[in-house]
Structure 1
Amino acid sequence: MNIRHMLVVVDPTTENKQPCLERAKNLCQHYPQARLTLLLCDYVAALDGGTLFESNSLEKARASLLQNHLKQLNELAAPLREKGIGVEVQAVWGKRLDRHILQAAQQLKPDLIIKTTHHHNPLKRLFLTNTDWQLIRHAEVPLWLVKKGEKPITQICAAVDPLHVDDKPASLDLKLITSAKTVAGNTGASLHLIHCYNPLPRTMVIDATLVVDYQGYADDVKKHHTEAFSELLKRADAGQAQQHLLEGYPEEAIPAMIEKLGINLLLLGAVSRSRLQSALIGHTAERLLDEVPCDLLIIKPDDFSDPSKPSA
């Protein structure tokens, strides 16, 4: 994962604390050739008169707001520019933050999108309106969601799925491991690889033979996953990584392991699903977003294309 250009999404609701910018600054120490684009998108309902009430005064007010934001962005960029980091700034007006971020990514072709993430309202989860979830689904480039930008990256973990129970292609696991190895190599962090498996609970086993020898069934499931995990690590040349085979659902087992190991960055793969599947099931990445205290780096398959993007 070669990081030469980062698109950093600045939060307009705060002037000082910008965890995403702190993370970008930290990454620039490890990727000295990288440059940044700071993007700020704002929307104030009082300045949106709609088509029936549009006026020159409202247009001037919006332009003034964006000028103030450009000034803020240049103030944030100044210390970085003094260190020799190339920084450009953009301020845009609009309701849909996710669409503006995706449009900027289409135009600028960054290697990475960096955005601060917060705890998400359960109602937003239900109606799929949260910006972070939309970016997880639609961003074509890696997406780094920042929770603790001031902390250096010392422990990196990638969650893999060698049996593809979440419909992830085999190539995505290899890409996850390669990306994790590269970031760990550049930052000097330790590398961990996690795979979760979950045998059927005893109460759900219908076959009479399995009920009699449930432990034998559970041992066979563990052996099957162990062998698949080991084979994946061989293919990915990841023998130096610390390996963790966990029993349980990812959204339950992974957060506990993150806390135990002190993981700073969790890499997850995300694949495209239909709108209905996303509404009912969701990605593992979405389910983990509020459950882990560390940064997340979302990786897509090489052939991923934003399903919401108009066809050419």
Structure 2
Amino acid sequence: MKLERLLVVIDAEHDRQPALQRAAELAGRTGAKLHLLQVEYHPSLEGGLLDSHLLARARDAMREERHAELTARVADLREAGLDIEVEVRWGKRRHEEVLARIAVLQPDVVFKSTHPSSALRRLLLSDTSWQLIRRCPVPLWLVHEGPWRGRRLCAALDPLHSADKPAALDHQLIGVSLELQRQLGLQPHYLHSLAPLPRSLLFDAEVAQEYDNYVAQCAREHRDAFDKLIAQYPIAPAQTHLLEGFAEEVIPRFVQEQAIDLLLMGAIARGHLDSLLIGHTAERVLERIECDLLVIKPNGKG
């Protein structure tokens, strides 16, 4: 993964901009160019009794004012030597404007701050972060508001592809981890969780008697697949972790216990209904972690 051109989504409704701070820190170390994108919208300037030309002028005036404010905000960063472009656009559906600009700018990574979001807003697909997790075609770095130690990362792997992820996605995650280790000095760890069928769900007595053998066989299959994947890379055993439990429970606990600063997860596009009712594992994990999350899609897919 390259770190040469970074797109930062500015949240107009929040004063603090963790994504800008994180991207600026990385740009200072890598020499990357920053493109700041702020999407403005106010329903009173969209229609009504005012003449359309007056509305257009009012929208332009608002965009120019916000552009000046954002430019002034990053003046110190520019003086420090960072290469920064500032852009303010108008759009009712923020994520659609962001995705449109991604298609044009082709950034290496998109940075977006995360903020509390209600379950109802996620259900209605109205939150930009959730939309970008599903649809952003390039790596998406979701920045958690808090201190950045920049020491350790964790890549959540799925070598048996139980979540229907393609095999190549695990290799992408490992490759990105090694690249971030090289460029940023982050110490990588590699985690895989396995969750055998609970004994309580086995209603057949004969099957239940074989439960221990089933659990042992399941563990062997996951261990063999995990070891086979890791063996292809210069990864020390101490960096690998095979833990039992559901991913949405194991991953947040590991992140907290190991003081992980950046979690890497793969995500694939799912059907609309599935996304509504279930959501990606990455989304469920994001609700429980207090670190940055880097979401990686299969190459060439959004």
TM-score (norm. length: structure 1) = 0.92
**1:48 paired residue number:** 46
Alignment of 1:140-155 (within 5 A): 140-148=137-145, 150-155=147-152
For residue 245 of structure 1, give the secondary structure of its aligned residue in structure 2.
Answer: strand
Unaligned runs of 5+ in 2: none
1-structure distance, mates of 2:117, 2:217: 39
Shift of 1:223: 1.5
**1:310 paired residue number:** none
Shift of 1:92: 0.6
Structure 2 residue 292 is matched with structure 1 residue 295 = yes
1-structure distance, mates of 2:212, 2:136: 43
Structure 2 residue 125 is matched with structure 1 residue 128 = yes
Shift of 1:31: 1.1
Shift of 1:284: 0.8
Q: What amino acid is aligned across from residue 160 of structure 2 in structure 1?
A: L
Figure out how many residues of one structure are paired with residues of the other and give that number: 302
Contact 1:210–1:217 (CA under 8 A) maintained in structure 2: no
Shift of 1:58: 2.1
Alignment of 1:64-143 (within 5 A): 64-143=61-140
Structure 2 residue 157 is matched with structure 1 residue 160 = yes
Structure 2 residue 10 is matched with structure 1 residue 10 = yes
Contact 1:191–1:241 (CA under 8 A) maintained in structure 2: no
**1:188 paired residue number:** 185
Shift of 1:134: 1.0
TM-score (norm. length: structure 2) = 0.95
Q: What amino acid is aligned across from residue 142 of structure 1 in structure 2?
A: P
For residue 74 of structure 2, give the secondary structure of its aligned residue in structure 1.
Answer: helix
Alignment of 1:201-280 (within 5 A): 201-239=198-236, 242-280=239-277
Shift of 1:174: 0.3
Shift of 1:54: 4.3
Q: What amino acid is aligned across from residue 122 of structure 1 in structure 2?
A: A
2-structure distance, mates of 1:127, 1:223: 41
Task: Name the Cα RMSD after superposition.
Answer: 1.7
Shift of 1:111: 0.4
2-structure distance, mates of 1:216, 1:230: 21
Shift of 1:267: 0.4
2-structure distance, mates of 1:65, 1:35: 26
Contact 2:28–2:82 (CA under 8 A) maintained in structure 1: no
Structure 2 residue 180 is matched with structure 1 residue 197 = no
Identity of aligned residues (%): 42
2-structure distance, mates of 1:125, 1:14: 19
Unaligned runs of 5+ in 1: 307-312
Shift of 1:140: 0.8
Structure 2 residue 20 is matched with structure 1 residue 21 = yes
Shift of 1:240: 6.1
Shift of 1:14: 3.3
2-structure distance, mates of 1:298, 1:120: 18
1-structure distance, mates of 2:216, 2:131: 39
2-structure distance, mates of 1:207, 1:237: 45
1-structure distance, mates of 2:203, 2:39: 54
Shift of 1:216: 2.5
Deviations 1:18-74 (A, max 9, x none): 101110111113312x10001000111122215x75433322221111111111121
